Amino acid sequence: MDLSSTALRVLRQIAESGSFTAAAARLGYTQSAVSRQAAALERGAGTRLFERHFDGVRLTPAGLTLLRHARTILACLDEAEQELSGAAPRPEPVRLGIFPSGGAMLLPPVLTLLAETDPHVAVTTREGTTPGLVRSLRAGSLDLAVLTSRPPHRPSDGESPPLHLERIEDTELCVAASTTGAFAGRTAVHAGDLVDAPWIASPSSGAEPLLGVWPGLPGRPRVVHTARDWLTKLRLVAAGWGVTTVPRRMGPALPPGVGLLRVEGAPPEVRRILAARLPGRPAPAVTAVLRALTTA
């Protein structure tokens, strides 16, 4: 089997991005170049590595096997390059992925704690949705990911082997509303009062749904604004242009003019925060970050 390091990096990026188009954009290649590399990989491996679906590309079992070895090969090449260049030993890197609101909730205390207890660990972070972060873990471009899960807390994906998951905490979902609007002075709201509320939500797709509207409301919610950026959503809430959902854990990070409302008259909506990694013994630096996540 004759496979180039470029082809293995393309394989890893396709697995992470979920499509040839997205992989090409991340690598700075044309889509046709990525398609040619994918075809060359399959010829070199002598088997089918990719499954094309309407919503993107997934790796076959053979593709996942090759990806597992590709991660090891690429890591060894990076280490060899460092040794040959005579560079001084670098801090121990950990690539951490985190869901959108998790950055405001968890990153500041975690990074502060690590700076005190494990200053040799160098954490770089990337924000993403839970499905996207899981793909990045599988592709080997993340060492650790902080994900969210809703009941009944099924596995994050159906791939094998299963990811290793550790529970960080459970947090209740609440509604964020203006402190001077229709719900001013209240700490709770009945679910029935939310049916006709104007919602500020994140754009979503069938593959990667994002929250923003209270789950289980009857009828079609009235979404008046969509935004991925949390600051945009919360500033719109503060100005009285709608309401949105946030984890209670995010309360200390809310801007002035935004209050949290507990929802009554409906089952509690609990979100579980999980740390996910590939199975096997984690590197000491990854263990240090896990320890900081559960402590902070």
Per-residue pLDDT at 258 exceeds 90: yes
What is the arithmetic mean of pLDDT over 111-122? 90
Closest CA to 132 of 271, 276, 293, 285: 276
Strand partners, 177: 259
Determine if the pTM surpasses 0.75.
no
pLDDT for the residue 139: 86
Closest CA to 40 of 73, 12, 4, 9: 4
**Phi/psi-derived region of residue 187, left when phi > 0, alpha when psi is between -120 and 50, beta in every other case:** alpha
pLDDT for the residue 206: 54
Q: How confident is the model at residue 111 (pLDDT cuts 50, 70, 90)?
A: very high
Do residues 230 and 275 make contact, with C-beta atoms less than 8 angstroms apart?
Answer: no
Per-residue pLDDT at 116 exceeds 70: yes
Name residues whose C-beta falls within 8 Å of residue 185's C-beta, 6 or more positions apart in sequence. 179
pLDDT for the residue 86: 65
pLDDT for the residue 246: 92
Mean pLDDT of the residues in the chain:
86
pLDDT for the residue 195: 92
Containing 264, the helix (H) or strand (E) segment is: strand 258-264
From residue 164, alpha-carbon distances to 63, 157, 290 in Å are 21, 12, 12
Name residues whose C-beta falls within 8 Å of residue 127's C-beta, 6 or more positions apart in sequence. 97, 98, 99, 100, 103
pLDDT in tens, 40-82: 888 888 888 888 887 788 888 888 888 888 878 887 887 777 6
Query: Domains (ranges, CATH) in the chain?
Result: 5-85 (1.10.10.10), 92-167+272-295 (3.40.190.10), 170-269 (3.40.190.290)
pLDDT in tens, 169-225: 998 999 999 999 889 999 999 999 999 999 999 876 555 555 789 988 888 889 999
